[in-house]
Structure 1
Amino acid sequence: MTELMLKYFRNKHQKVQSEKVYDTQCPFCSMQCKMQLVEQRVVSRKIYKTIGKDNPTTKGRLCIKGKNAHQHALHQKRITQPLLKVKGEYQPISWKEALEHIRKNFTDIQQLAGNDALFVYGSASLTNEEAYLLGKFARVGLNTRHIDYNGRLCMAAAATAANQTFGIDRGFTNTLEEIPHTRCIILAGTNIAECQPTIMPYFDQAKENGAYIIAIDPRETATTSIADMHLKNKPGTDATLANGLLKIIIEKGLIDQTFIEGRVDGFEQVADRLSSIKLSEVSEVTGVSEEDLYLTAEIFGEEESGMIFTARGVEQQTDGTAAVRAFLNILLATGKVGKPYSGYGAITGQGNGQGAREHGQKSDQLPGYRSIENKKDRAHISQIWRIKESELPGKGVSAYEMFKKADQESIKGMFIMCSNPVISHPNSNLIERSLKKLKFLVVADLFLSETARLADLVLPASSYLEDQGTMTNVEGRVTLREANRPLPGKAKHDWQIICEIAKAMGKGDYFSFTTAEEIFDELRKASRGGKADYYGMTYEKLRKENGVLWPCPDYEHQGTKRLFETTFEHKDGKAKMAIPMAADVEKEVQNDDFPLILTTGRVMAHYLTGEQTRKSTALAAREFESFMEIHPETAAKYSIEDHSLVKIESQRGSIVVRNRCSEKIRKDTVFVPFHWTGGQNVNRLVSDKLDPDSHMPAFKVTAVKLKPVLS
């Protein structure tokens, strides 16, 4: 080897002094892309690179959020020690002191106001183990019936609809692998190209294979651009639209009579109700022409296979559950479910939106998707938890309703884990006011979010790089997220925080876990025999198989790829069609004072309230401020110039954002993303009316007025 070559290798060795590789999964959307973070020390600094890992769901693909996720996890503003608010300022304290403050305050509150005066608010970003443990903590550690989570704002309508129609709720009835082979696809209220970018190749492949794609959305988006047909309906009219499509399908004789007679209840009542509606009225209400209604219905009805996917555009309405059920009616009437290349998909928003609701964070559920009001379910869980069934609290109320209780001062203490409800909830002024009324608020999080800043005590939580556990992705595949990066400072794993608070409250014997895997082993037993049965999974099996689709009732079982092939999950084995409502539930409508409809959503660079993604310089640079999308003719009508500041006002408040004119949106509609805070927090404008079945807020339909902000 020449002296020149030796010098080259010496210099290279000196520059790259060490390299560490961390296996993990993206912390953001429900695709849960597998990836590795490569950490290199180059001279005196560290550089990072994220690479995708092959897996059954995303095949190694990553989007811009996943590639830059480490920037928030490694951010200098991470909370790394407990912080106690003293005279309005946060002071670092020890974990021993923090736990004693929790013990004393929670105990005092419950002694004075009863066990149910405490509320636990969870997150769909938690692992399955932590979601399970948080539900157990509320009911055993605190003996309160009041627990709910931020998934109530995301998947509640789709979950309720699937349970009512099919008897079970798994995000997808089929696997993603079936999408490229279906003949017709309806994408209703979903912008997957920006919200779940790594799912798009499945739909691109379907299109290449000749599938006809129908998009339903008030806006033209990167998703609608792949569609053969775009129904640009008015926000809030999805149930009416779906009912109109089914009316045509029935009248044209495009139903599967054999399937209906053998496997469906309620078809005759639905058909009878639909016979009385007029398509001219459907067209007028939705803003979709009768010609397009007929074409859509005929194509979907005539094809031998078809899939329908819904997301928040359909679901975040006061009739969101009814709207999803109306689309499921179409599947049942045409026999397109439980068969190859035919079925339903609820496009889950949050990373563990599926698993987080299956194992006990919802106010009415117990692990394994069991009902807290079912005697047999209660008995099973009580045995696993080693308590008497009579000691297990009953059903609580939904998340937003709980904050109303806090505003009324019947809830006096709260523990919030990894969520930012001040920004994410509707009528956010009420949320902030209710938190300020609490006698004691504890928040566990990575950063001092808008919610954490209101807390009496803030606990340092762990990021996706540090916190091992299982996640259940968009198709119902349970995956194991490896995480072995050391915790920063005095931060603890989320499950450790729960266990230590339980111990402080005198319930340590029920929370004596030392690893996430130990918690999963108990979760498996708790879920056994339930609708969401994880019993046949272990960490070893999840590593070997690279994820397993539930239900998986025993170790030899390979997971369930397609649901409902022979039976649905209701006792009689049949699916239940939903009779269209005679009248719509109460909705906000335009009037002379508020003449436009505001709808909300995401942009590709950001996630949820933006607390994490806005810490990423790479992501924040793409979208550094909120904006309003408006049709140029509408902007001109209200004297609003492109790229100018505009005040948006509803009955509940106002925000100021920058305007973007676009011919891609309806003239009666404006769009604002929900990732920003303060004076740009669009949820300040949203009504607190809830879906009567799922208690989903109506984020997608708000009556507003506009006014230019003169500089």
Structure 2
Amino acid sequence: MRATGGRVTVVDREVSGGCPLDCPDACSWIVGVRDGVAVTLRGRPEHPFTHGTLCVKVNQYLDHAASPDRLRHALRRTGPKGTGRFTRISLDVAFDEIAERFDRVRHEYGGESIWPYQGTGNLGYLQGLQGQAGARLWNVLGASEHDMTICSAAGLVGADLATGTHRGIDPESLAHSRLILLWGVNTLTTSHHQWRFINKAREQGAYVVAIDPVATRTAQQADEHLAPRPGTDAALALGLLNVVVAAGGADRDYLADHTLGWPEFHARIEQFPPERAAELTGVSRAQIERLGERIATTRPTGIRAGSGMQRHAGGGAAVRVLACLPGVTGDWGRLGGGLTYSTDGYFGGNREALLRSDLRAAPVRRLSMTRLGQNLLDLTPPVKALFVYGANPVVSNPDQQSVRQALAREDLFTVVVDHFQTDTADYADIVLPATMQTEHLDVLDGYGHMYIAWNEPATVPPGDCLSTTEMFRRIARHMGLSEPSLYDSDQELAAQLLASDHPSLDGIDVESLRRDGWARLSYPADFVPFADGFPTPSGKLEFRSERAVEAGFEAVAGYTPPRESTDPELAARYPLSLIAGASHFFLNSVFANKPELRRRAGPPRVELHPGDMAARGLTDGTPVVVFNDRGSFVSTVYASAHIRSGVVATTKGHWMKLTGGSTVNATVNERDADMGGGAVFHDNRVEVEEWQPSAARD
């Protein structure tokens, strides 16, 4: 028996699993099964990070999996693209059509004209993004390589230029911090399990500062909140460092022994006195000086940075500077000091065994996922077949209008794999029904902790739903491909992944992971990752980087301003910066169709500072249009003192078909950040006006 919500539910067995969604916490869970049906779901209580709790979204995962509108059979398009008109077909017919079209495209245009478009809807190593599910098939076919740029790419490159890796400190070590900077991360919404370790630090006297243009749930619970203008984070960090150095907070011994390029970086810091930093960021000089002095005198200082703060023209530069800050104070050498941005990469599983790059006959082009519209409309040779899985780009990608126009191409053969008929699925030629997490085998880790999990299938998939791995096996079979590894079972794939001599897997194998359900990677509970040096060419933290120069970046870490805010004409026409943060009730566009979570989230809304509302003659509840030269969307506006002036805030993930028109990404430019080809969702100038239906811009 299992108690759930005050009731006692009888179960036949309990099955170990884990959450595959795009969240740092990657919860370890237990599924209770009765008569072949999953009836309970709970966080694993003994797991040090999950600690027995799931989020408000995933708590209802079993209801989501049993939803009556879930896709259970393959579909073929019968109406114009975008109308969502389909008829049911058998799986054999679906895979025959996919095989025939893939073969035709390869022979007429070459393998590069097939684009496997994978998103973050599943982060599993077998079924999802972490193992690049399907890579073997795409390598055999010579398909274009998919460049996963939409989420955290700019920051990953920036952190790597400073430290030689994007891996930072163990997020659990923030429990040992005495000053915690939550920089551009709404922890209570996007990684709420981290808050328990922050509270442990608070119990020991730690001071918590949230840095975000919006006073989020997290900022309201912090001890202090700084609200910089979007995209000015690097300028703020350099201004804080200016105060740190002036206050004598630079660790001279650490700088001499463990860093490279301090004189040059020191000169860069001197260019950002508090008054200049205040002018650039909109944060008061007093706040900058006060926090800078606190950083100078508080050891250790730990920084948790979120991906939202690097989605602009200077996003990579910003995370690079944040990675440099603990080098100035020496906090990289202390437990509880340093930066955590992503722990991805601590898991040393044999990813290459899954990818099998050796199956690719020749190098092929790489296509950036954030340039979907441009790539589908302008490339030579053209993309003629698009296979979308774990993604809903009509909702999630920049330049929504361009994406919709591109997906409407009648000569583009599009397959969409999903659980529901999303806005993107409406543009497909073939829709394939996918299993959900309780129905397939997978291995998971998290990019916000140091654990891996085994996900055992708990129930039989409904209807014709197939796992991603089985779909790729069937495509290979229907195409008559002879490469043996294309037909490896899920159990074989898991064994190949875990057959690694990497020290992180000491004592962990398929048998032990399957038996226990989860394991901590083989790192000490309290470890300082760079105590023995940094994995840079110099072995030191690099304020100055030759690799940066070779890649076309500035040699010394510094500030790159948001592009649209530095264009005076554009800023005059569109005086507001638009930020679309994560909803507390959706995860990207996942769950945005679940009635209960939609009810709790409420209809789409935008929020403005009261002064910006008054300047536009707007009142609470007024229908407005948010627009720029790229597009527009209609919403309802409310005043909020939690929004800094000059910013309009909303949430991402809403489906077009459920909101009646374009959504926030209609206004976002399909343009790259400074590093890694990252997206620029928060480098976006707009204006807000009262909506007049007769003159609608949408």
* 8 Å contact from structure 2 (residues 621, 638) kept in 1: yes
* 8 Å contact from structure 1 (residues 119, 414) kept in 2: yes
Partner of 1:651: 629
Partner of 1:599: 579
How far has the Cα of 1:83 moved from its partner? 1.2
Partner of 1:351: none
Partner of 1:296: 291
How far has the Cα of 1:514 moved from its partner? 5.1
Partner of 1:136: 135
Q: How does 1:222-261 map to 2 (within 5 A)?
A: 222-261=217-256
Partner of 2:86: 90
Q: How does 1:335-484 map to 2 (within 5 A)?
A: 335-346=330-341, 354=344, 368=351, 381=352, 385=356, 387=358, 391-394=361-364, 396-409=366-379, 410-437=382-409, 438-473=411-446, 474-484=448-458
Provide the identity percentage. 24
> Which whole-Å CA distance do the structure 2 matches of 1:382 and 1:227 have between them?
44
SS of the aligned residue for 2:195 comes to helix
SS of the aligned residue for 1:137 comes to helix
Q: CA, structure 1 residues 93+340, in 2 after alignment: closer, same or farther (shift >3 Å)?
A: same
How far has the Cα of 1:572 moved from its partner? 3.4
Partner of 2:117: 121
Q: How does 1:551-570 map to 2 (within 5 A)?
A: 562-570=528-536
* 8 Å contact from structure 1 (residues 118, 146) kept in 2: no
How far has the Cα of 1:454 moved from its partner? 0.5
> Which whole-Å CA distance do the structure 2 matches of 1:164 and 1:394 have between them?
26
* 8 Å contact from structure 1 (residues 338, 564) kept in 2: yes
The letter of the residue matching 1:564 is: F
Residues 441-450 or 674-683, more deviating: 674-683
Partner of 2:550: none
Residues 224-233 or 400-409, more deviating: 400-409
Residues 674-683 or 538-547, more deviating: 538-547
Q: CA, structure 1 residues 517+560, in 2 after alignment: closer, same or farther (shift >3 Å)?
A: farther
Unaligned runs of 5+ in 1: 1-14, 349-353, 360-366, 369-380
Partner of 1:376: none
Partner of 2:281: 286
How far has the Cα of 1:692 moved from its partner? 2.9
* 8 Å contact from structure 1 (residues 128, 356) kept in 2: no
Q: Within the alignment, does 1:52 sit opposite 2:43 as a pair?
A: yes
How far has the Cα of 1:571 moved from its partner? 3.7
> Which whole-Å CA distance do the structure 2 matches of 1:558 and 1:333 have between them?
25
Residues 84-93 or 409-418, more deviating: 84-93
Q: CA, structure 1 residues 37+386, in 2 after alignment: closer, same or farther (shift >3 Å)?
A: closer
Q: CA, structure 1 residues 396+537, in 2 after alignment: closer, same or farther (shift >3 Å)?
A: farther
Unaligned runs of 5+ in 2: 1-7, 545-555, 694-698
The letter of the residue matching 2:536 is: H
* 8 Å contact from structure 1 (residues 403, 431) kept in 2: yes
SS of the aligned residue for 1:622 comes to helix
SS of the aligned residue for 2:571 comes to coil
The letter of the residue matching 2:309 is: V
Residues 199-208 or 576-585, more deviating: 576-585
How far has the Cα of 1:323 moved from its partner? 0.5
> Which whole-Å CA distance do the structure 2 matches of 1:524 and 1:643 have between them?
54
* 8 Å contact from structure 1 (residues 598, 704) kept in 2: yes
> Which whole-Å CA distance do the structure 1 matches of 2:310 and 2:176 have between them?
26
Partner of 1:191: 186
Q: Provide, for residues 625-645 of structure 1, a one-character-per-residue CA deviation record: whole Å limited to 9, x for no partner.
A: 111111222212212110221
Pairing partner for 1:166 from 163, 180, 184: 163
Partner of 1:101: 97
Pairing partner for 1:517 from 491, 496, 516: 491
> Which whole-Å CA distance do the structure 1 matches of 2:354 and 2:221 have between them?
51
Partner of 1:702: 684
> Which whole-Å CA distance do the structure 2 matches of 1:634 and 1:415 have between them?
43
The letter of the residue matching 2:581 is: G
* 8 Å contact from structure 1 (residues 138, 147) kept in 2: no
The letter of the residue matching 1:624 is: G
Residues 283-292 or 431-440, more deviating: 431-440
SS of the aligned residue for 2:339 comes to strand
* 8 Å contact from structure 1 (residues 274, 580) kept in 2: no
* 8 Å contact from structure 2 (residues 321, 558) kept in 1: no
> Which whole-Å CA distance do the structure 1 matches of 2:574 and 2:355 have between them?
54
Q: TM-score, normalised by structure 1?
A: 0.85
SS of the aligned residue for 2:116 comes to strand
Q: Provide, for residues 521-556 of structure 1, a one-character-per-residue CA deviation record: whole Å limited to 9, x for no partner.
A: 22345x766xx9768742323346654455x6xxxx
* 8 Å contact from structure 2 (residues 367, 375) kept in 1: no
Q: Within the alignment, does 1:112 sit opposite 2:116 as a pair?
A: no
> Which whole-Å CA distance do the structure 1 matches of 2:38 and 2:505 have between them?
39
Q: Provide, for residues 622-667 of structure 1, a one-character-per-residue CA deviation record: whole Å limited to 9, x for no partner.
A: 0131111112222122121102211111221111111222111112
* 8 Å contact from structure 2 (residues 393, 403) kept in 1: yes
Q: CA, structure 1 residues 232+582, in 2 after alignment: closer, same or farther (shift >3 Å)?
A: closer
Partner of 1:688: 670
Pairing partner for 2:62 from 60, 65, 70: 70
Partner of 2:30: 36
Q: Provide, for residues 153-204 of structure 1, a one-character-per-residue CA deviation record: whole Å limited to 9, x for no partner.
A: 222123222222222233x42241x222211111111111122223222212
> Which whole-Å CA distance do the structure 2 matches of 1:643 and 1:534 have between them?
54
* 8 Å contact from structure 1 (residues 19, 40) kept in 2: yes
Partner of 1:11: none
Q: CA, structure 1 residues 633+288, in 2 after alignment: closer, same or farther (shift >3 Å)?
A: same
The letter of the residue matching 1:218 is: P
Partner of 1:332: 327
Q: CA, structure 1 residues 442+435, in 2 after alignment: closer, same or farther (shift >3 Å)?
A: same
The letter of the residue matching 1:146 is: E
SS of the aligned residue for 1:72 comes to helix
RMSD: 3.0
* 8 Å contact from structure 1 (residues 524, 533) kept in 2: no
How far has the Cα of 1:18 moved from its partner? 7.0
Q: Provide, for residues 252-272 of structure 1, a one-character-per-residue CA deviation record: whole Å limited to 9, x for no partner.
A: 331122222222222221112
Q: Provide, for residues 549-600 of structure 1, a one-character-per-residue CA deviation record: whole Å limited to 9, x for no partner.
A: 55x6xxxx88995422212112432222252447646334563321211111
SS of the aligned residue for 1:397 comes to strand
Q: How does 1:563-578 map to 2 (within 5 A)?
A: 563-577=529-543
The letter of the residue matching 2:428 is: A
Q: Provide, for residues 73-118 of structure 1, a one-character-per-residue CA deviation record: whole Å limited to 9, x for no partner.
A: 1111111122122354422222222222111111211212122111
How far has the Cα of 1:328 moved from its partner? 0.9
* 8 Å contact from structure 1 (residues 305, 336) kept in 2: yes
SS of the aligned residue for 2:534 comes to coil
Q: CA, structure 1 residues 534+202, in 2 after alignment: closer, same or farther (shift >3 Å)?
A: same
> Which whole-Å CA distance do the structure 2 matches of 1:357 and 1:429 have between them?
39
Partner of 2:468: 494
